[in-house]
Amino acid sequence: MTTRRERSESVVVEGRVIADFGREFLVEFADRRQVVCSRKGKRQDATCGDFVEVRMTGAAQGSIERVGTRRNLLFRSDQWKEKMLAANVDQVVILVAPKPALSEAFLNLSLVACEAARLPVVIALNKADLPEYAEARARLGPYEKIGYTLISMSAKIDVSPLLPQLENKLTLLVGQSGVGKSKTVNALVLSDVARVGELTASRESGAHTTTFSRFYRLDRDTAIIDTPGFQSFGLFHLTEDQIGEAMREFRPFLGTCKFNDCAHLNEPGCQVIEGSRRGKISPERLSFYQVLIEQHRDLHEQHPEWSK
């Protein structure tokens, strides 16, 4: 005789991961029912935005049996580990602010990661009400010049400048701690934040701190994924060629250098360096790239097994 538990465990349902707690996942089904799921074994290969197949193990519990094919995946990595941020998104909004001080290093690292994942980017300058705003806005001018969409807003006053950028898309929000990402999310989807907050309260260290990626719907066709605030965006999973290709203003010059293996550091006949001399590439962006490549090489010399 088949028991109720056995019948439950034979049911496989398709859903989407809407919250990633590290070892557990909140999965939403087509009927908007939400189930807390685990992933069998030591495989932590699911992330927010993934389409998954879930085998039900109880009324509100399940086990992720399979992760679907992704159209994209954004993650960061350092010398110790990789951290998946989200999958199957349409674009990324990188939130920056005048205070804490605008970090162009973080912005550039984020842009390289997004370009390498072939994800469109919007740069959102928050806290436009602060007196430091004008200086920060001027510093971001070169990013507009190379083709990035830049908007200004103040999350505590009005997030409407951001709304047209989000419409009919699934958008991943990233930003350093303190730039106002939580206020932005609260202004966009306060009711959903409260509802999911109830489900995740036991897994949070603070009521207003995002510690895991979460998916929120704005309407039927529009949603965002909020990620934890972090201070660094490691790119150790990328090759030197991938980093160079991810610098979008470098692309017209790539493949035209005197040497085929030019790394654009100090080689004679480097057309990327020449492009900077002619004002086509900002000295700051070239310097960022060169420092990143040097760091990348130093780390891979310490860990040659990573290059295999």
pLDDT category of residue 236 using cuts at 50, 70 and 90: confident
Residues 222 and 247 in one domain: no
Identify whether the C-beta of residue 86 lies closer than 8 Å to the C-beta of residue 25: no
For the cut 50, the answer to whether the pLDDT of residue 26 exceeds it is yes
Residues 28 and 99 in one domain: no
DSSP letter string, 93-113: EEEE-STTTP-HHHHHHHHHH
DSSP SS3 for 158: strand
| Cα dist from 85 to 21, 27, 251, whole Å | 11, 16, 27
- Range of the structural domain that residue 262 is part of: 240-302
Q: Is the dihedral of CA 300, 303, 306, 308 positive or negative?
A: positive
Query: pTM of this prediction?
Result: 0.87
How far apart are the C-alpha atoms of 206 and 194, rounded to whole Å? 13
Residue 234 domain flag:
no
Output 115 or 177, whichever has higher pLDDT. Answer: 115
How far apart are the C-alpha atoms of 188 and 198, rounded to whole Å? 18
Alpha helices in the chain (DSSP H): 4-9, 104-116, 133-139, 141-145, 163-166, 181-200, 240-246, 271-277, 283-302
Q: What is the pLDDT of residue 69?
A: 95
Tell me the pLDDT tens digit for each residue of 140-169. 999 999 999 999 999 999 999 999 999 999
Domain containing residue 125: CATH number: 3.40.50.300
Q: What is the pLDDT of residue 193?
A: 52
DSSP SS3 for 125: strand
Identify whether the C-beta of residue 236 lies closer than 8 Å to the C-beta of residue 298: no
Task: Work out the average pLDDT over 284-304.
Answer: 85
Q: What is the CA radius of gyration of the chain?
A: 21
How far apart are the C-alpha atoms of 308 and 217, rounded to whole Å? 41
Residue 235 domain flag:
no
State the pairing for strand pair 149-152/121-125.
Answer: parallel
Output 205 or 94, whichever has higher pLDDT. Answer: 94
Number of domains present in the structure of the chain: 3
Share of the chain above pLDDT 90, in %: 67
Closest Cα to residue 213, out of 65, 14, 20? 20
Tell me the pLDDT tens digit for each residue of 72-88. 999 877 655 678 889 99
Residues 143 and 45 in one domain: no
Query: How many C-beta neighbours within 10 Å does residue 239 have?
Result: 12
Task: Work out the average pLDDT over 98-111.
Answer: 93
Residues 118 and 174 in one domain: yes
Residues 188 and 295 in one domain: no
Residue 80 domain flag:
yes
Residues 136 and 29 in one domain: no
Tell me the pLDDT tens digit for each residue of 49-64. 999 999 998 888 999 9
